[in-house]
Every structure is written in C-alpha cells, then in structure tokens.
Structure 1
Amino acid sequence: MANPENHNKEYTNDKFQRSALQVREAQARLTAYAAPLSLEEVPLNQSYGRFLARSVHAPHPFPAFDRSSMDGFAVIAADTVSAGDNSVVWLKVVDVIPCGAVASREITTGTVARIMTGAQVPGGADTVVMLEATESRMEDGVTYVGIRKPQAAGLHITPRGLELGTGELVLPEGTIIGAGDIAALAALGAANVPVRRRPKVGIFATGTELLEVDEPLVPGKIRNSNSPMLEALVREAGGEPIMLGAIVDDLELARSKVQMALESYDLVITTGGVSVGDYDIMGDLIREQSGEMLFNKVTMRPGSVTTAAVRGGTILLALSGNPGACFVGFQLFARPVIGLMQGAAQPFLPEWTAVLGVDYKRVNSFTRYVRARLEIREGVLYAFPAAVDESSVTVTIKDSDCLIVIPPDSGQMTSGDKVTVLKLPGEIRG
C-alpha cells in the first residue's frame, strides 16, 4: 500500500463537488468492497499465475521414503568398521535396485544392494557408498563389492520427510502460483488446484476525440491508447478484460453503457471524462446515479481526478484520460482491487527503498508518483525519474519499472537521497 501523505491537506472544489482524499484512505475505501470471488478448481497445468484459494498442506511426508542420493551400494555401516588402507571389506551383492523399483529383500550383515540415484533404500541398510569409492570382483558367479574405508551411517541418503512432514504447510492461501509452486503441488499429487475465479473487468473509454488503433489520424483526434493499455494491465493483474469500446461525450450513451457493464461484470473501469472541464461526463454520471460515492479526488499527481463509486455492489473506477495518469491510477487502485477479488495475500505494489539517481525538483501540495527506471550498480538500487513525466505523456510508460513516491512540498531532492519506490510488475530492466 502506498505511503500515507501525512502533510497533505484536504482540497475541495464547490463547482464539481470534489473533496480530495489521501491515497491510503482512498485505497482503503475502495478495497473494502473488493470481496474475494468464488472458488473454482483448475487442472494443475492451468494453475500458473492464479491465486491459491485454500492453503495446501502436505498429505504425506516428502520424500515419502528414504532415497539414495547417489549411484552406489546400500550397505550396513557397521559392516565397514574394519575397512582400512590395508584391509578391504568384501560384501556380497544380493540385489539391484533401479530408480522406481523396490528392493526384493532386506539387507543383512555381509550383504549389499546395488542402488541407483533416487531409488528407495532397502530395509536393513543405513548408508550408501558411492560407486566410485568401491571395487568389485566376481566369484563363482556372485558379485562382491570391496570397501576400503569405514562408512558412517546416513551417508548419501535423503531421509523420509526431509522436505515436508505430514500436515506441514506447503503454500498459504493467496499465493500467486509459480513454476516452483507447481512442482511442489505435482510432487504431492495435487492434480487439481483450488483458485479464485478471475474477475471480469469491463473497460471503456470516453471522448469524442478518440480514434481506434487502426484508424488514420485526422486533425484534432488521437488514437485510443488507454483501452489497449488497460486491457494488458488487467490481464497482468490476473483479471479477464472485456473491451467495451469508446463512447463520445454523451451522457445518455455513457449512462446506458455503464449500467450494462455494472450488471454484467465484477469491476468496471473507465478512462476519460473525469476532468473538471465542461465535459466531465463520468463525473456527472457518478454524481447523479444512486449508490455510494467513494471518492472523486485524490491528493496525488498524476491522476488527482480519479473517481470511484459502488453501484449495486459493483465497483466503478473512473480513471483519468491522460495516459500517464491512467497508468498510475490503475496501479494504485485497480490492481489491488483485482488482486483482492482473487484472494491475493499481497495485493499492493511492493515498497522498496532506492537511491535517487539524479536531482529532482517538484514543488507540489500533492504526493507525486513519478514513473522511473531502476538500475543496480555495485549492489545498490538506484531510481532514475523519466525525463518527461507529465500526465499526458505516453511513451515513458514503457521505460518504467517503478514509481518514485515524492512527498508533498518536498522541493529540491538531490542525487543520492533515499526515496521510496513502488515496484511495478516485471523484471528490472536497468
């Protein structure tokens, strides 16, 4: 969750009835309505990236048996005590145990079993001697193995239950399932995995100025880049985006689209139409609708006009039409909602501490979330603000892997200062 902005003041605008909340409070109001969705089971091979809906405990010890960690011979350690440089202990080979097979007999004094890596150690044996540390001979059709050094009990054996005991917690509820988790689940026989249903997220943009991606540019128009970006961000967060297109600045059309979306999907996100200008379509719509207004201004830059409401139990989140503000608004508000709907244990962007890579000056009464690039130099994490970080700027979004949190009224910040960053999903590219 974002740091609290303790020094922010509350701002109001009588004309647009806007009362600004700090980011933390706005997040709290919004996420209070983000209830986990229903549980469903999916095949193990379809569980990657899903959120675990129930904690998983080991149904049996793992490994389930004592197994050899070497190719060699399973022996009784006490049989080797007399071995030395001038004294070879010869033991009779009475069994061969490939990986996946079970011994045909127990090992008794004077006998050994040839055993492969991963095979179950036979009863009676208490240590495994590496193949390279032995010699062999044949006598009357019988193989004997020679050992020149005493062997301690327990060598080269992975004991039953070393990794997990019966009933031990393997994965807690809310875990995002990764490749290692799938390996553990497979080893424990979890053919089907309980996960939360992916939220269906309706997305549409408002604005008479918008063109579709494949349309040629015309004077005064811009291509709708926010909707494809939001589609990708929703997928990245684990949701299922439903693209509802763009609508012109028409209140009746917006009203019908929003109502349909609220009745059909788990979350509705709009972009555009929440400015304080004459065409505040989403703001007007939210104010006139019945339901609960959660907030319509946040003490943040970019994206202070971010607006949220609840209608019939469904969250409506109206993001700025400016690409930079839309991106930041999604990360701070939509991402945790989508995560919580899937039962995420950690729905908010992780907070790290980094060193500011260059001087930065931004005097503002609101907290600023600066798109930035992370870089590791000699084990130290640095954050470099985007050269152009205005709300309307699109291209620097692609170069950002974190948001630097600049407190209000911070004034000049100097290269070398420590700053809080919110790590965006994905690898550090610097």
Structure 2
Amino acid sequence: MREGGESKVPIKIVNEQGERRGRFRRKAIKVAAAQSVVLEAVRACHAKMPVQVIPLHRCGGRYAAERLVATCDWPPFARSGVDGFAVRSGDVALASASKPVSLRLIDSVAAGDRAVTPVLPGTAVRIMTGAMVPPDADAVVMLEQTEDAEAGTGAKVSFKAWGKASHSEGAHGTAIEIKVKHTVQKGQNVAQPGEELQAGAALTEVGMMLRPGHVALLGTFGYSDVPVFARPRVGIFATGSELLAVGERLEPGRIRDSNSAMLAAMAEQSGAEAVLLGRLPDELEAVRSALAEAVKKADIIVTTGGVSVGDYDIMAMLMSELPRYDSRMGEPLEPSNSGSLEMEQDLLLFDRVSMRPGSPTSAARIGGKLLFALSGNPGACFVGFELFVRPAILALQGTSHALPTVVQAELLDGFEKGSPHDRYVRARLIEREGRRYAEPLGFVKSSMMASIPAAEGLVLIPSGSQGASAGQLVDVLLLLP
C-alpha cells in the first residue's frame, strides 16, 4: 500500500507495441569505457564551470582557473637562513674551536633592514634570520659557532643597546670583536636570489586544487585575489517509498535515507556544492517534472535507488525511454576533443556497468546536464560515486586528472569469490617496511555500510572465477580521507 492507503501498482515499461521493454536487456559497459563516456559528456555539456575571483584566504580547496606565476625571483635578495654573523668565508677558512678567528663587528642587520655596509676583510656584521646579507659577505656563521672576544661566551649583541650610530665601538669606545670557532663554506647559510623560485615560475596550473601551501605561495607573490572555478551544484534525489527522513522514527519495513547525506558529503569533498532535493515518487511523470526543475538548479544530478529490474524501479523506467548513445560501447574510449559525443538531445549514456557492486549504475544527459542514477544499496552507491560522479565533478573544475588514483598493493587476505564482472572491495591500506598491503574489510556486500568509514581504498579484483589470493599484487583505487 502507498502512504495514505492508496494501492501501489507495479510499474510496467512498455513500448508503442505494448511489449515489455529492456530492463533485462541492458548492455554492460566496462568501467574504463563508462568513465571515458562520462568525461567526454562533461566536455560536451559544460566544458568547465564559470570563473570566480575570490579572496586569497578563501581559496583553499578550490580549483585554480588560471596559471599564476611568480612575480619576482624568490628570495628577492640574498637572505640569511640563521641568526649569526655575515662574513667573508676566506676570513674564517682556518677557524677552529682551538684556534678561533677574531673579526671586528661593524654593523647589524635585522629582518626588514636594507643592508648597505660592505663586509670588509677582517670584519663581520651581526645578522638575523631572514635578513638581507650585506655586500661582499658570502656566508653566515651561526651564532652558536662564535663567542664574544672578551666574555668568552656565545656572542650576543643587542641591537637596542648597540644602536645604529656607531656599530664599530662598544659602550666605552672600544672595538667589539667576535671569535669564530668554525669554518664556513662560500654560500653557507645564505639563500641566494631566485634560489627557490625564479620570476615566471608556475605557482598554479588550471585545474589544480589549491592547498594551504599554494595559498602561502600566492600570498608571497602578491595575489590577494585568486581566480578559481565556480563550485558545481550537485542536486541529489533519493527514490523509494520505503525511505524515511533521517530524523523520523523507524517503522516496520522502512529505513532512513542515509545515502542522500553520504552523497552530499562526497560531493562537498570533491569541491562541489550539494543540494538535497528530496525524494522522487514512483511515478514517471512526477519524476520527469522533478528532474526538469532540477536541471535549472544543478550542474549535475544524482539519484540513489530505483535503477535495478524491480517492478518499482522508476529510474530504470526513465532511462529505458531515452535514445541510447552507442559509440564503441564495451570498449575503452579514448578522450575526444572533436565533440564526437552529440549532446543536442537527451541521451542514455549507459545503463549497466560490468562491475560489482553497482552493475545497474546508469548515466544520461537530460536538459543539457549529466544525470547519474546510482544504486540504492549503500556500498554500491558509494562505489558508483567514486568511479563516475566524482570524476565528473572534478572535470567540471578543470582538473586533467579526474579519475581515481590507482596504486598497487599486496593482498593481505584472499578474496575467493569470483565474479563475471570486475569487483571493487573495500580495504584498509597498511605500510610495513616500505611495502604496501591491502586488507579487505568485512561487511562488503553492496547492501552493507558498516565498513565504508574504515575504507581507504577499493581493491580491484578482475573478473574471473578464482577471485584473488593472499599475497597477490592488486590495483587499489585510493579514496579521499
């Protein structure tokens, strides 16, 4: 019974001749081919998101829309890397703890000062970390490697007490000397101009995710505002009359809709803005209407549930009505820059993928936007997002490496269940003595969610009857933390 007592009639998918249509005749496509179709559809539908210019302190985690470069050499001047004394390295070539070399102190330079006093033979200049190295000095001796000529302790010269009027004399008019107890090589403890970055060096590339380190670099070179791609809006629907809102009390035969919130979190993690659009009813016209409104609000639409072959699977019904995009299905597609994917009409991109879990995962183009219909099973929904939705979100933000990162690891425990499709198994990654291991987690059925929080990667078990044995080298798709 429907809510309110109305009978729920199974959905029948029929064509004009009254024949049952093909939810059972779906053509499976390989994962790599499906991913290529998705990325080509992104190029055909959107290319990239619009560009926004935002304050530097807010650009962390966003994706750069322009190639930004260093505006000068860095460091812009010879800079001391330690607190100590700027010297001529030749003056202290024979210095040692038993035979220190005495140098006359002639000036001091703090960070931010402009160093103008040349270091003449037999002299030194007190210098602080980050300060400009004075002319003719080619090295800096660490403070700990010197001592005051009179006191016999580590040299400590106070800028305030010493003043700027006469750095060559002490309080009583006597010359101040330091003793250097250690030799230094030319250039030691000095960062040379342009040593780290030269003017014109790239700080960001288009599609690069900006991390805190990028923010620091951009600030260093004067970028107070940064061009980034707008965050894609991802509209999320759930299907199924068995679903309750998260805050509702459980009822017999019903479950709470946890997938929508999970998908929203994954979308936000990918740099998108998630928009929860509620639940789709099991009525085709109502679904069409809801999706037509969604394409006005979202750049990508994701549904969860209703994609299998049950009598109430509304998304499968919708997908079956769309004309199919049929270009080299089943074979990995090469990325195309020629616009070979015609996107002027609504199209079914694929409605079955050769994978477990989530083989009914489907994708289409409707109203100029990408629609992903993911499984209602939490584990399959999770895998479908990782393989297809996240790459689409990243591609919209300009990144050229949208697909999951794949590493190799040794399987700690065997996974003996074979499958006619590639299988993606949730796993924990372990590093031991320089080797990477993958430990399959329990509760990995598509309907199970207990192991999702602990998963650090998805182990790919290629299709076949044998599964994979312990010690076997396997590919692992890394999951974002």
The partner residue of 2:230 within 178, 191, 197 is 197
Q: Does 1:171 align with 2:184?
A: no
What is the TM-score when the length of structure 2 is the normalising length?
0.81
Partner of 1:318: 373
In structure 2, distance between residues paired with 1:150 and 1:239 = 56
1:265-310 CA-to-partner distances (Å, cap 9, x unmatched) read: 1100011111111112112223335611101111111111111111
The partner residue of 2:289 within 256, 264, 271 is 256
- Secondary structure class of the residue paired with 1:252: helix
Greater share of residues in strand: 1
In structure 2, distance between residues paired with 1:395 and 1:322 = 12
The partner residue of 2:134 within 119, 122, 125 is 122
Q: Contact 1:92 / 1:142 at 8 angstroms: preserved in 2?
A: yes
Q: Displacement of 1:248 after TM fit?
A: 2.5
In structure 1, distance between residues paired with 2:115 and 2:105 = 12
Q: Which has the higher mean CA deviation after the structures are superposed, 413-422 or 329-338?
A: 413-422
Q: Contact 2:319 / 2:351 at 8 angstroms: preserved in 1?
A: no
Partner of 1:105: 117
Q: Displacement of 1:231 after TM fit?
A: 0.7
In structure 1, distance between residues paired with 2:438 and 2:370 = 34
Q: Cα–Cα, structure 1 residues 148 and 377, in superposed 2: closer, same or farther, change >3 Å? A: closer
Could you tell me which amino acid in structure 1 is paired with residue 30 of structure 2?
Answer: Q
Could you tell me which amino acid in structure 2 is paired with residue 19 of structure 1?
Answer: K
Q: Which has the higher mean CA deviation after the structures are superposed, 393-402 or 133-142?
A: 133-142
What is the TM-score when the length of structure 1 is the normalising length?
0.90
Partner of 1:23: 31
1:322-344 CA-to-partner distances (Å, cap 9, x unmatched) read: 11111110000001000111112
The partner residue of 2:250 within 217, 221, 224 is 217
Q: Displacement of 1:17 after TM fit?
A: 4.6
**Identity of counterpart residues, as a percentage?**
42
Partner of 2:50: 38
Partner of 1:334: 389
Could you tell me which amino acid in structure 1 is paired with residue 435 of structure 2?
Answer: V
In structure 1, distance between residues paired with 2:183 and 2:474 = 59
Q: Contact 2:413 / 2:469 at 8 angstroms: preserved in 1?
A: yes
Q: Displacement of 1:81 after TM fit?
A: 5.8
Unmatched segments (≥5 aa) in structure 1: 1-12
Q: Cα–Cα, structure 1 residues 324 and 133, in superposed 2: closer, same or farther, change >3 Å? A: closer
Q: Does 1:136 align with 2:154?
A: no
Q: Displacement of 1:357 after TM fit?
A: 1.4
In structure 1, distance between residues paired with 2:122 and 2:243 = 86
Q: Displacement of 1:315 after TM fit?
A: 0.4
Q: Contact 1:319 / 1:326 at 8 angstroms: preserved in 2?
A: yes
- Secondary structure class of the residue paired with 1:19: coil
In structure 1, distance between residues paired with 2:450 and 2:96 = 73
In structure 2, distance between residues paired with 1:118 and 1:381 = 41
Q: Displacement of 1:68 after TM fit?
A: 1.1
Matches within 5 A, 1:384-423: 384-423=439-478
In structure 2, distance between residues paired with 1:86 and 1:390 = 73
In structure 1, distance between residues paired with 2:212 and 2:369 = 33
Partner of 1:245: 278
In structure 2, distance between residues paired with 1:296 and 1:270 = 13
Q: Cα–Cα, structure 1 residues 121 and 300, in superposed 2: closer, same or farther, change >3 Å? A: same
Q: Cα–Cα, structure 1 residues 84 and 54, in superposed 2: closer, same or farther, change >3 Å? A: same
The partner residue of 2:65 within 46, 50, 53 is 53
Could you tell me which amino acid in structure 2 is paired with residue 277 of structure 1?
Answer: G
Q: Contact 2:418 / 2:463 at 8 angstroms: preserved in 1?
A: yes
Partner of 1:6: none
What is the count of residue pairs matched by the alignment?
A: 414
Q: Cα–Cα, structure 1 residues 110 and 23, in superposed 2: closer, same or farther, change >3 Å? A: same
Q: Displacement of 1:124 after TM fit?
A: 2.3
Q: CA RMSD in A?
A: 2.2
